[in-house]
Amino acid sequence: MSEPAYPDLQLRADGTLCHLLSLDGLPRATLERLLDAAQAIRPQALGGTALRQKLAGHSVCNLFFEPSTRTRSAFHFAATRLGADVLSFDVSTSSTGKGETPLDTLRNLEAMGVDCFVVRAREDGAVAALAAGAKPSTHLINAGDGRHQHPTQGLLDMLTLRQAKGADFSRLSALIVGDIRHSRVARSDIAALRTLGCRDIRVCAPASLLPDAHELHGCTVGHDLDALLDGVDALMMLRLQRERMVEGLVPSLEQYFVDYGLDERRLACAKPDAVVLHPGPMNRGVEISDAVADGPQSLILQQVSNGVAVRMAVMLELLGDARNRQDWVSA
Ligand code: ASP
């Protein structure tokens, strides 16, 4: 997959963020600023009231053309806890079913005063295409486009890693396991890990679930999970994206678990303090065992909590008054 020219759309000439479309090409300073802000916001993210006026007067619309549990809910809570008006637009009962295009849908909602759209789309690049057609004062956040990018998931994964392992990513060994080929999460994570200076990125999947080699430049790539576990600090497990697959890429789910599933025996072969991440939804017994998913090394629910803080930080970056940034970061 070649990376379209998103940096031009998402970054203004002065380096500030206009949309959040991709972590690929996002400067390290911007990435770290968002992570710092999310970390500072975290005490308020799960229900505090100190930030409830920050986005008063703004209107945020969740426009999801694919199913979602965590991302959609986290964006909803993030916008609400910042005091924005929030519309969770139900695509399934909307006029998109009568043939109205996503861009016409967006323009109609813009005409009602929406100035921030959180968009999940089936097609790679679809959110950037909408950003290109939106008003200059409108901000788009990519909540996952096809196999391409899921930038806020990448940010919350980096925040979770930083909390567990510290900010020096150059010392981190990260292993991403599973359906890399169809995973926008893997693409965002790999981009962010590279930008933050991680030098040991390992990826493991059957050959049928790996992307083109150029996408994995600089990564150690293997098919034998047991051979890649030694010295690993963080295991990032991925779901088999069966909705994006043609038949036959995996022989059977049982065999997949035998070859690529993370169980306690395998986890014990990584570093003793290794942590486990998964973006959800999990297929228990396919890519991860119950004992690992619910065990002491799992940070899966911490990722979910961090997801609210990260989305608040992104919205404040896009919509908040930059002059008051210190004010909200220290709230
Ligand atoms: N929830 C993530 C996504 O939307 C991961 C997944 O679906 O497997 O990409």
Residue intervals in the chain for CATH 3.40.50.1370 = 7-149+305-329, 151-301
> Is the shortest distance between the CB of 37 and ligand 1 below 6 Å?
no
**Distance between CA atoms of residues 23 and 187, nearest Å:** 9
Query: Could you tell me if the CB of 184 is within 6 A of ligand 1?
Result: yes
pLDDT of residue 325: 54
For the segment 174-180, the average pLDDT, to the nearest whole number, is 97
* Å from CA of 168 to ligand 1 middle: 27
Q: Which CATH number is 7-149+305-329 given?
A: 3.40.50.1370
Q: What is the pLDDT of residues 34-55, one digit of tens each?
A: 999 999 999 999 988 999 999 9
- What superfamily in CATH does domain 151-301 come from? Aspartate/ornithine carbamoyltransferase (3.40.50.1370)
**pLDDT by residue (tens digit) across 40-97?**
999 999 988 999 999 999 999 999 999 999 999 999 999 999 999 999 988 888 888 8
**Mean pLDDT (whole number) for 301-305:** 98
Evaluate whether 188 touches 154 at the Cβ level (below 8 Å): yes
**Cα-flanking dihedrals φ and ψ of residue 209, to 5°?**
-115, 20
* Residue 17 φ/ψ, nearest 5 degrees: -90, 130
Write down the pLDDT at residue 314: 98
Q: Which residues contact 1 (CB under 8 A, 6 or more apart)?
A: 124, 147, 148, 187, 211, 212, 215
The CB of 58 under 6 Å from ligand 1? The reply is no
Residues in the chain: 331
- pTM score > 0.85 for this model? yes
User: C-alpha distances in angstroms, 270 versus 27, 131, 165, 226, 274?
Assistant: 31, 42, 15, 9, 6
Looking at residue 249, its pLDDT comes to 80
CA 154 – ligand 1 centroid, Å: 11
% of the chain exceeding 90 in pLDDT: 85
Question: Hey, which of 22, 152, 153 would you mutate to test ligand 1's pocket, going by the most ligand atoms within 8 Å of its Cβ?
Answer: 153
**Helices 151-165/28-45 angle, 10° precision:** 80
